[in-house]
Structure 1
Amino acid sequence: MGGFNSFVKLFMPKDRVFYSLFEDVASNLVEMSQVLNELVATTDLAVRKDKVHLIERLEHKNDDYTHRIFVELGQNFITPFDREDIHYLAATLDDVADYIHGSAKRMDIYKVHNINDSIRKLAELIHLGVLELHKAIHELRTMSNMRIITDACVKINSLENHADDIYDMAIAELFETEQNAAELIKMREIYQALEIATDKCEDCANVIETIIIKYS
């Protein structure tokens, strides 16, 4: 009987670890996007530098979580949902972290003194998108309230559309008003990194929708 029990234990759902890791990633992203908003709200360059360093540390933490998800994928026979969906969700969540970090880093190395409304608005949309992701990911564990997940995904799609509009207007204004080519390139790169972060939130939402369609 003992042998049979250990055999059964071998196939016990070790998959719960994935929920915990995804929840850790989601919480870490909320913190990163919160710090990004604090960064763009301040004019104090020393404070801004501290925020950039904090985002960098959080991004490394995110890399560790992502690595652990991939390691678990390699070791676990049983997963809570399709392996490729787990892989893609982990990778796209990691992309969100990378682009939050990338935009903060660019503001720092390009010494952007004038953080304008477009940058602040895009940072706010990233934070709102990440909060919705956090909501959806915490529901994946039980899938008892699909409505929360679908509502969050719909909200993320509309936030991404809003970010596209802000980005288009910011770029148009930049080309109209910025005479200095170097400044123009710097600002465009920052806008792009921020906008891509919202795209990546939408990619995450799309994977989550794929998952719940398969399991509903």
Structure 2
Amino acid sequence: MNSIFKFFTPKDKKFQPLFEQAGSNVLKISQALLLALSATDMEKRKEHIKEVERLEHVGDDITHSIFLELSKNFITPFDREDIHALASAVDDIADYIHASASNIELYNVTNIGDAMIKLAELLVEMCTDLEKAIKELRSFKNIRVIADACVRINSGENQADYVCNLAIARLFEFETNAIELIKQKEVLQTLELATDKCEDAANVLESILVKNA
């Protein structure tokens, strides 16, 4: 019955393009964050942080469009709850990446350690997998791509936990400036929260996969 229903359901021309835009945009945000953290020139860093902010606003607009389409359309390509959850999870990734970049600028964090760069690199990897998986929602023909991407995202989140916890432990051991310790710890934890949101998105994708594959 499920196959028959899918045969007669009109091809989705609204949600999938928006989700693909959201996936592409969140990857661009993660890349802009990595450029910001890797930049040694402060003006260049500010430029990349501004780009993170711009892309976060673009992501907000895409999320709003998805929710608007959800309110207007009775037939959806998969469960309405999953559409809402996936859109929210991708938007949360962008929000936490933006928060990380903003905190670096607001707190005037100039000492960007290896741990912060490693977390940003993990975010790029996870967002790359997320974008690939979202594209496969168009047809569900290559479900292994989605499943493998989710596994890698979950693994990336575990790595991020380890990197963040180790970096904070070293801060408490070696950083004698209490204010600097607080600033560094805040940025590290916000970056790690962004990886948590990637895992949340992967969990939604796995739920969609189970229901529709």
Shorter-chain TM-score bucket reads over 0.9
**1:183 matched to which residue of 2?**
180
The separation in 1 between residues aligned to 2:89 and 2:181, in whole angstroms, is 29
Counterpart residue type for residue 100 of structure 2: S
Question: If you compute each CA radius of gyration, which structure gives the higher value, 1 or 2?
Answer: 1
- Say whether residues 1:110 and 2:115 are aligned partners: no
The separation in 1 between residues aligned to 2:172 and 2:9, in whole angstroms, is 59
For normalisation by structure 2, the TM-score amounts to 0.94
- 1:177 Cα deviation after fit: 1.1
- Say whether residues 1:42 and 2:39 are aligned partners: yes
Q: Check whether the contact 1:30–1:134 (CA below 8 A) recurs between aligned residues.
A: yes
**1:150 matched to which residue of 2?**
147
Q: 21, 37, 45: which one pairs with 1:24?
A: 21
- Say whether residues 1:82 and 2:88 are aligned partners: no
The separation in 1 between residues aligned to 2:56 and 2:68, in whole angstroms, is 18
Q: CA RMSD in A?
A: 1.2
Note closer, same or farther for the CA distance 1:212–1:12 as it changes in structure 2 (3 Å cut): closer
Gaps of 5+ in 1: 1-10
* Percent of aligned pairs with the same amino acid: 55
Q: Check whether the contact 1:14–1:78 (CA below 8 A) recurs between aligned residues.
A: no
Matches within 5 A, 1:111-126: 111-126=108-123
The separation in 2 between residues aligned to 1:13 and 1:182, in whole angstroms, is 57
- 1:112 Cα deviation after fit: 1.1
For normalisation by structure 1, the TM-score amounts to 0.93
Q: Check whether the contact 1:15–1:78 (CA below 8 A) recurs between aligned residues.
A: no
Q: 65, 68, 82: which one pairs with 1:68?
A: 65
Cα deviation, 1:11-55, whole Å, max 9, x if unaligned, reads: 973732100000000101111111111111111110111111111
Matches within 5 A, 1:123-202: 123-202=120-199
Q: 207, 211, 214: which one pairs with 2:208?
A: 211
Counterpart residue type for residue 107 of structure 1: I
The separation in 1 between residues aligned to 2:10 and 2:40, in whole angstroms, is 50
Q: Check whether the contact 1:59–1:101 (CA below 8 A) recurs between aligned residues.
A: yes
The separation in 2 between residues aligned to 1:160 and 1:173, in whole angstroms, is 20
Cα deviation, 1:122-155, whole Å, max 9, x if unaligned, reads: 0000000000000100000010011000000000
- Say whether residues 1:95 and 2:95 are aligned partners: no
Count how many residue pairs are aligned between Structure 1 and Structure 2: 206
SS of alignment partner, residue 14 of structure 2: helix
The separation in 2 between residues aligned to 1:108 and 1:202, in whole angstroms, is 26
